[in-house]
Amino acid sequence: MYTRKTMQKNQRIIFYILILIAGASWIALNTDKTGASTAGRIPAPQAGFTAPDFTLMTPDGESYTLSNLRGQAVLVNLWATWCPPCRAEMPAIEKMYQEYKDQGFVVLAIDMTYQDDPFAVVPFVKEFNLTFPILLEETGDVASAYQLRSLPSSFFINRNGIISEVVIGGPMSEALLRTRIEEILK
C-alpha cells in the first residue's frame, strides 16, 4: 500500500528523470554533429589549429603579418642568438629555404629579442648568411601566444594557416625539415 511519503518519493524520482531527459535532449539537439563549429579556426599553438597571428618588424623596419602569408607554407621558428641548438639548425633552415622558397615556402625566424641581446641579431644573421626574414619579438606577446617553453620552437604552418606540426627543441636536421616542409607545401 502506498503511503503519502512513498508517493512523494516516486514523484521526485519521476521529476528528476524528466529533467535528465530534457537536458539530454537539449544537448543532443544542439550539438554540432559535423565537427565544423571551429574547424581549426581557433588560434592555438598546436597541430590542427590556426596559428596565432602576429605582426613583427625586421631589424630594418620591414613589417610582417603572419595572416598576410595565407596561401604560402610558413615555418615560424622561435630562437635566440645565445641558444646553441638555434645556432646549429640555422644552416639547415637556410638551405631548405633556398630549396623551397620558389614553391611558396616562407621562413619567419623570430628572435626572442625581449630575452636576447638586440645588438647580436644582425651579426648573427651575417654570420650564417641568412636570407629569410628575421623578426624581432620585443614584448613577449608572440612567445606567450605560442606558449613558448623552450628554444628553439618551430611551427610548420600549411597554406590555410593551420599548424601542421610543432617541433620543440632542436637542432632540426635537413631530413626532418624536408619532410615537414613538403607536407605543408601540399
| DSSP-assigned states of every residue in 93-118 | HHHHHHHHGGGTEEEEEEE-GGGS-G
- Check residue 6 and give its pLDDT: 74
pLDDT at site 41: 60
Count other Cβ atoms within 10 Å, centred on residue 141.
13
> Which of these CATH numbers, 3.30.70.100, 3.40.50.1400, 3.40.30.10, 3.20.20.220, describes 55-185?
3.40.30.10
pLDDT of residue 81: 96
Q: Which residue has the higher pLDDT, 53 or 24?
A: 53
pLDDT band at 27 (very low <50, low <70, confident <90, very high): confident
pLDDT of residue 25: 80
Provide the 3-class DSSP secondary structure of residue 160.
coil
For the cut 90, the answer to whether the pLDDT of residue 13 exceeds it is: no
- Please state the φ and ψ torsions of residue 156, each to the nearest 5 degrees: -95, 115
pLDDT band at 40 (very low <50, low <70, confident <90, very high): low
Residue 37 pLDDT exceeds 50? no
Domain residue limits, the chain = 1-31, 55-185
Give the span between the Cα atoms of 155 and 79, in whole angstroms.
Answer: 12
Q: Is 80 exceeded by the pLDDT of residue 143?
A: yes
Answer whether residue 138 shows pLDDT above 50: yes
Confidence band (pLDDT; 50, 70, 90) for 9? confident
Report the predicted TM-score, pTM, of the whole model to 2 decimal places.
0.78
pLDDT digits (tens, 9 = 90+) for 66-112: 999 999 999 999 999 999 999 999 999 999 999 999 999 999 999 99
